[in-house]
Structure 1
Amino acid sequence: MLASKYFILFTLTILVLGCGENNSSNKSSLSIKTNEKSLMSGDTLKLSIDNPEKLEISKVSYQLDGQPIENNTVLNGVTLGSKTITANVTIGDKSETITKPVVVYNNVIPTIYTYEIVNTFPHDITSYTQGLEFFNGDLYESTGQKTESKLRKVNFETGEVLKNINLEDQYFGEGLTVLDDKIYQLTWQSQRGFVYDVNSFEKLSTFNYGTSKEGWGICNDGKTLYKSDGTEKIYLLDPENLTEKGHIEVYTEKGKIPRINELEWIDGKIFANIYQRNGVAIINPKTGGVDGVINFKPLKALVKQHADLDVLNGIAYHPERKTIFVTGKNWDKLFEVKITAQ
């Protein structure tokens, strides 16, 4: 009986090893070669197949993130960040698909901007500001913290609250934006967003997130919503059905910029607070490239210092005044500034 058990175990081992050898033998040693170890926007992407076994390759076609590309393609206008190159290789009457991950960096060194304070206004020191936006001359604000989250319409000059609703206690309010007389407000980790009538604050609908797991910041260009989730990604949403149509990744010439937070659309660019950095990145919405940066760190020293004081967060553009308004979490001041490239 013991000998029989050893025979069965030996037979099963041979079968398992045999199956593994058959599977591995179906895969060739082909791989994709690129001309550069790191790629930048504007580079010419030279592609070839590393073929150490000298197999007779009759045809090769390439894709970049599922879109057909040719060898020597110039990487102009492509979105930045993590990509996948796919090669479909024909060897005799068989075909094989191989892939290679790559990262595309920005080819622009960000411009450094300075700012000038032109006005200072009062701000509710109890507001944990998450979203800020002007609409028809009034300031709309979304605040965070569970049991304390609010949606507000505010007279920015006096700080008077013109309209207010409190979110249910389980929600942590995040960014907001106004499009077509609707307010779109995010919550943080509940994977839930709300849509309100801008005049009455009546809740019209709710929506769930897609690939993005959290809600941080949101803005719009008049047609599309842009949503951040605390990573380097900014998602494009259809305002009609709130589905994610794709995303861009925020990159400089050196690497990705994570913790993208509150967003504002200004003159064709996305201005984004970088969480806990007290600065703002100016982002090309077509590529994700960082075109400029603004260091607002000195502003924090100009507000009342107290135990609950937190980081800069909240950026709103006033189209008539052509100025930018910034504040922070539990700041007692709202600053109106003008920025200038160095």
Structure 2
Amino acid sequence: MKKLSILFYFLAILLTTISCADAYKFSIEKPEKATLNQTITLKMVEKEGKEIEKVQFYVNGKEVSSNGNTLTLNTNDLGVGKHAINGLAFFDGKTKKKNAFLEVFADTKPDFYKYKIVNEYPHDTKAYTQGLEYYRGYLYETTGRRGQSSLRKIEIKTGKVLKKIDLDNQYFGEGMTIVGDKIIWLTWQAKKGFVLDLETFKKEKEFSYNKSEEGWGLTQNKSELIKSDGTNKIWFLDKKTLKEKYFIQAYAHDRALTQLNELEFINGKLFANYYQKPIIAIINPKTGVVEGLINLKGLEAEMKKTQKLVANDEVLNGIAFDAENNRLFVTGKNWGKLFEIELIKQ
């Protein structure tokens, strides 16, 4: 009987402690919308005004210094995108955690571009284009769909396929880029990519995506590979280890740009196909800010004059750039034409 009394005593203390903690209702007060070049204040409060001894804040998992229960941030230090905010409140010998998100948008609207067709070239209507790259006078293209995925070397003027290999039927091929004498080729949902010899197209090794879920588009800058995964995230990979190091988030002044697909790095900017829309986004690779939008709806209309396109499937996809001659090429999935275009800022 005495043991039961002691047990009930400690149980009562435990329930009292829990009820006291539950009696505290915390929230993080933050702006409804934030933009770059802003200094903002976040505050952790107890909804009934009960005293908080101190608050420790974390931004994207990293501890940051604060002033009591108030956190002051410069949005430029965060960059555009959605950021995790965590507050750990200390009160009455106890702690309680509260989670929130802060979404930061670009502070300027993107520029808009139209285009002029410079040249038209033949393109294989059976090529479900996933990746496109210009290299030393030729186009290299990867195509998708299980059982139809391939890697090709193409003569631009004639559209002739000079070399081709098929991907194993279990894989859905995605974007590619050429690094030195190697071709780096992504797959969609298998969480892996392949490294192939540029001359022979022979597969040399494979690598895994260690953080992102899927493979979509692939390009590169001088030091890193740059990969899209179908979301608004753009991943940067080590060129030697092929490991994903970090990501940026693509944001305009009013929204996140999701479903970013084929990528091309042109004059220091990222060009990204906006999947299922006849639009290419121009993205700052350092900040994620969408600085421009290229409206290519007219190219889709041009294709429909001679070819019936399957809605939401045979869409604009494929960007290649000849830096030496300043030529920009675009095409679409199963399109019968490859277009060389010139951009005109509106």
Same fold (TM > 0.5): yes
**Could you say which residue in structure 2 is the equivalent of 1:51?**
46
**Could you say which residue in structure 2 is the equivalent of 1:300?**
300
Asked whether the equivalents of residues 122 and 333 of structure 1 are also in contact (C-alpha less than 8 Å), the reply is: yes
Unaligned runs of 5+ in 2: 1-9
The letter of the residue matching 1:31 is: S
The letter of the residue matching 2:145 is: Q
Q: Distance in 2 between matches of 1:329 and 1:54?
A: 59
**CA deviation after TM superposition for structure 1 residue 17, in Å:** 11
Q: Distance in 1 between matches of 2:166 and 2:95?
A: 59
- Give the alignment of 1:198-237 within 5 angstroms: 198-237=198-237
**Could you say which residue in structure 2 is the equivalent of 1:332?**
336
**Could you say which residue in structure 1 is the equivalent of 2:29?**
33
Under a length normalisation based on structure 1, what TM-score does the superposition of the two structures give? Answer: 0.87
**CA deviation after TM superposition for structure 1 residue 69, in Å:** 5.4
Q: Deviations over 1:105-128 (max 9, x none)?
A: 121211101111111111112111
Q: Deviations over 1:264-300 (max 9, x none)?
A: 1111211111111011111122222211101111112
Q: Distance in 1 between matches of 2:116 and 2:332?
A: 17
Q: Deviations over 1:66-123 (max 9, x none)?
A: 3325533221153322211123444465554433222111212111011111111111
- 1:311 equivalenced with 2:306 (yes/no): no
Asked whether the equivalents of residues 33 and 47 of structure 1 are also in contact (C-alpha less than 8 Å), the reply is: yes
**Could you say which residue in structure 1 is the equivalent of 2:252?**
252
Q: Distance in 1 between matches of 2:128 and 2:60?
A: 39
**The 10-residue stretch of structure 1 (17-26 or 228-237) with the greater mean CA deviation from structure 2:** 17-26
Q: Distance in 2 between matches of 1:176 and 1:142?
A: 7
Unaligned runs of 5+ in 1: 1-14
**Could you say which residue in structure 2 is the equivalent of 1:323?**
327
Pairwise CA RMSD: 2.5
Q: Distance in 2 between matches of 1:319 and 1:69?
A: 46
**CA deviation after TM superposition for structure 1 residue 193, in Å:** 0.9
**Could you say which residue in structure 2 is the equivalent of 1:79?**
79
Q: Distance in 2 between matches of 1:297 and 1:30?
A: 49
Matched residues, percent identical?
Answer: 42
**Could you say which residue in structure 1 is the equivalent of 2:107?**
107
Asked whether the equivalents of residues 307 and 336 of structure 2 are also in contact (C-alpha less than 8 Å), the reply is: no
**CA deviation after TM superposition for structure 1 residue 57, in Å:** 4.0
SS of equivalent to 1:302? helix
Under a length normalisation based on structure 2, what TM-score does the superposition of the two structures give? Answer: 0.86
**Could you say which residue in structure 2 is the equivalent of 1:12?**
none
- Give the alignment of 1:5-24 within 5 angstroms: 22-24=17-19
Q: Distance in 1 between matches of 2:184 and 2:245?
A: 17
**Could you say which residue in structure 1 is the equivalent of 2:155?**
155
SS of equivalent to 1:72? strand
SS of equivalent to 2:78? coil
**Could you say which residue in structure 2 is the equivalent of 1:129?**
129
Q: How many residues align?
A: 327
